[in-house]
A = this chain, B = another copy of it.
Amino acid sequence: MSAQPIPYTIRRTVRWGECDPAGIVYTPRFLDWVLEAAESFFADVAGVDWFHLNQRDGLGSPSVSTQIDFHKPIKHGEPFTIEVLVRRLSRSTITYAMRGRNQAGELCFSAALVSCIIDNARMKSVSIPEPIRARITEYQAATAALLEGETRP
């Protein structure tokens, strides 16, 4: 994790095929980006990718809830970033807070995603295993100031 920038940030460009006939990003694509950001964060910061989590550890990370607020359109072809923060870490759930910004740094969308760690065989939530918890806790501590006073989802 030490090699990761703070906050953990995805860089992306809006694709032609992600836009609808009105020329703006088709709403569901934002949730694709949120999940892709969570996937990358999990692999890079929590230290295990979802495939190994499932195949090797028998654990899944289904979503409990998600919320996205759209503030400002992102233009086709324009680079944008998604910052991934962790608002809350409970026994078995992780609450992500994400911020999508355009090149000027303006907030374009904010998102929350609650994921739960489950035992795939029993389909029951389980305690987030160490060292995943340790790594996320460390990241959360390093980025806590970025969520202070925030009222975004």
Contacts and interface: CB of A to CB of B under 8 A. Distances in A.
Interface of A: 15-17, 19-24, 26-28, 30-32, 34-36, 39, 43, 49-52, 54-55, 60, 62-70, 73, 76-77, 120, 123
Task: Tell me if A's interface is mostly helix, strand, loop or mixed.
Answer: mixed
A21 B16 contact: yes
A62 B24 contact: yes
Contact of A39 (B16, B34, B67, B123): B16
Contacts of A36: 15, 17
A27 B67 contact: no
Nearest to A54: B22
A98 to B, nearest CB: 13
Contacts of A77: 43, 49, 51-52
Contacts of A52: 77
